[in-house]
Amino acid sequence: MKNLPNLFTLLNLVFGCIAIVFTLQSGIDIVYTKDGEQFIKLTENLCLASLFIGIAAVVDFFDGFVARLLKGSSEMGKQLDSLADVVSFGVAPGMIFYQLLRMGFIRQNDGFEAHVIWLIPAFVFTCAGAFRLARFNLDTTQCFGFKGVPIPAAALVVASLPLIYWYNSDSDLIYNLLLNKWFLYGVIALLSWLMVSTLPMIALKFKDFSIKNNLPKIILLVIALLSAVFLKWLAVPVVFIAYIILSLASKNKTTA
């Protein structure tokens, strides 16, 4: 039974690998409108990659929950968890950024000739996530709070982008923004900085069941439910922004 949490961790890793496979198979469709205008779009395989990152995040939550429930936490489990996370929440989202940047360049007249060096910044996110995980493993004070944004939270924001592209792109503004290379560079830089920063972030763990001590988490839950109803996949970045604001506004800024 003590190895059950490790099985969940390995399952997280498997789902992360599947997500990477779908990013590699995403491809690009060239469609022509009735007027003969060329229209380039990503295939839905990238959305499947996003969904598997989401499933990996759920499994990642449960491996910690099961470990606490069975009192099976171990140093090996901690290291294994980070190794799985760097794949599922570091490499896989980096591949999504790579494909979105590729798509953004292909939309340009000379996009097919864009040098790969313009796409490599996608993996700044991956490197920042790996750094954040290594630092977390060495820091014993992050129990009921975090220093910097946890990598699964940042990864879920990245995973939401293809889903927003497909299911919230009725607006030309959203569609063009998601495929704008400068916007994507900005998102990569921001998420990477948030992960490696030491900003005090709340952990979604309950010390007790009092409203006073858990008010930020309750507010975040309400925002998440309302956003999911009215904003569909746009809810993910909205909830992420709310998480940052509530964490910084919370009086309980200790990580012990």
pLDDT in tens, 12-44: 999 999 999 999 886 666 555 566 555 556 666
**Which residues have a Cβ under 8 Å from the Cβ of 157 and sit 6 or more positions away?**
187, 191, 236, 237, 240
CA dihedral over 205, 211, 216, 219, signed as positive or negative: positive
Q: Are 122 and 48 in contact (CB under 8 A)?
A: no
Mean pLDDT, range 171-192, rounded to an integer: 89
Q: Give the residue carrying structure tokens 């925002």.
A: 223
If one compares 241 and 168, the residue with the highest pLDDT of the two is 241
pTM to 2 decimals? 0.87
Q: Are 229 and 122 in contact (CB under 8 A)?
A: no
Residues 142-155: b if buried by 16+ CB within 10 A, e if exposed: bebbbbbbbbbbbb
User: Residue type for 193, please?
Assistant: W
Q: 208 lies in a domain?
A: no
Listed range (114-123, 164-173, 206-215) with the worst mean pLDDT: 206-215
Listed range (47-51, 76-80, 97-101, 170-174) with the worst mean pLDDT: 170-174
Domain containing residue 188: 4-200
Q: 236 lies in a domain?
A: no
Q: 209 lies in a domain?
A: no
Q: 224 lies in a domain?
A: no
Q: 230 lies in a domain?
A: no
Q: What angle do CA 185, 187, 190 make, to 5 degrees?
A: 110
Looking at residue 93, its pLDDT comes to 97
| C-alpha to C-alpha distance for 36 and 190, rounded to whole angstroms | 39
CATH number (domain holding residue 94): 1.20.120.1760
Q: Are 57 and 152 in contact (CB under 8 A)?
A: yes
User: Residue type for 153, please?
Assistant: A
Mean pLDDT, range 74-83, rounded to an integer: 84
Of the candidates 152, 141, 186, the residue with the CA atom closest to the CA atom of residue 59: 152
Looking at residue 203, its pLDDT comes to 82
Looking at residue 255, its pLDDT comes to 44
Of the candidates 2, 163, 157, the residue with the CA atom closest to the CA atom of residue 73: 2
If one counts the domains in the chain, the total is 1
Q: 145 lies in a domain?
A: yes
Looking at residue 165, its pLDDT comes to 86
Q: What DSSP designation does 37 have?
A: -
C-beta neighbour count of 184 within 10 angstroms: 21
The C-alpha torsion from 54 through 61 and 198 to 186, rounded to 10°, is 0
Listed range (166-170, 180-184, 207-211) with the worst mean pLDDT: 207-211
Q: 220 lies in a domain?
A: no
Looking at residue 204, its pLDDT comes to 76
| C-alpha to C-alpha distance for 24 and 46, rounded to whole angstroms | 9
Looking at residue 187, its pLDDT comes to 97
* Residue 27 backbone class (left: φ over 0; alpha: ψ -120 to 50; beta: rest): left
Q: 229 lies in a domain?
A: no
